[in-house]
Structure 1
């Protein structure tokens, strides 16, 4: 089964995803890394040279390409906002929303130049995006996990939820 992790930038998808994959005895991948490998350019360069709509199309294709793999997949913050992508992911496995609070996410992303949306947005713009996206993450996910604990605790919650979901 494929486990797709979704949530806002900085919620911990990559960090806890690696830990959850170990607990579940499966592989791990990050869609942002797969996009960089596929496009042979950084995410900021993709945004600058080809635009966000192009990036989102590539992202949707990458998510669909990992459907059916025995892996935990850390999806970019915008991947599961696309209803078709979310549906494909849900049909191939389970979509887990990592629900972290805005301040935690903001602290992690505010100076990250590798996140074009974070780098070009004010804190209030990011808070508005966070609030809008959170509703969609809930709508497009099968399981919601509170990320208030440590990464190990969150990974255990993911593993437990996935085992019950099967």
Structure 2
């Protein structure tokens, strides 16, 4: 089974995803890491030299390539905003789990992160607006929504339980 974790930057997709993969006895990958390795560039370099649309297209291709694999994949914050990507994942039978975490928690984790071009060029208010607009899309495109207010271990257990149902 393929499991895609989606949610705003800083919601814990990578941290929780690694733990959930162990609980489920499957592999783990981070789509941002796969993009960096594939293009041999950092995310800021990709945004600067190739542009955000190129990054998003590459991201969509990576997500589609993971469909059908037995893995938990932490998606970049924008991956499941693309309706075609979300549809491809759903059509492949993947679960798309939205890790719902309050903005303030996410913001505390991402502020000042130089590896996040959107964070570096945005004010807190702009990021809050982006969070609010993306949240509705995550809700529409996900198959499972989990409120992730606990520890990473507790949140990973929530994922495992929700998939065993």
Q: TM-score, normalised by structure 2?
A: 0.98
Q: Give the superposition deviation at 1:89.
A: 1.3
Alignment-derived partner of residue 7 in structure 2: 7
Q: Which residue of 2 aligns with 1:68?
A: 68
Could you tell me which residue of structure 2 aligns to residue 46 of structure 1?
46
**1:91 Cα shift?**
2.3
**Shift in Å, 1:125:** 0.2
Q: Tell me how far apart the structure 2 counterparts of residues 149 and 85 of structure 1 sit (CA, whole Å).
A: 29
- Mapping 1:103-114, distance limit 5 Å: 103-114=104-115
CA drift of 1:163 comes to 1.4
Number of matched pairs: 164
Q: Hey, what's the Cα distance between the residues in 1 that align with 2:23 and 2:110?
A: 27
- Deviation per residue, 1:95-124 (Å, 9 max, x gap): 000000000000010110000001110000
Deviation, 1:60, is 0.2
What's the counterpart of residue 115 of structure 1?
Answer: 116
Structure 2: gaps of 5 or more residues = none
Counterpart-to-counterpart distance in 2, 1:99 and 1:72: 17
Query: What is residue 161 of structure 1 aligned with on the other side?
Result: 162
3-state SS in 1 of match to 2:29: strand
Which whole-Å deviations, capped at 9, do the CAs of 1:13-57 have from their partners, x for residues lacking one?
Answer: 000000000000000000000000110100000000011001000
TM-score of the superposition, structure 1-length normalised?
A: 0.98
* Partner Cα distance (2:53, 2:164) in 1: 35
Query: Secondary structure of the equivalent of 1:5?
Result: strand
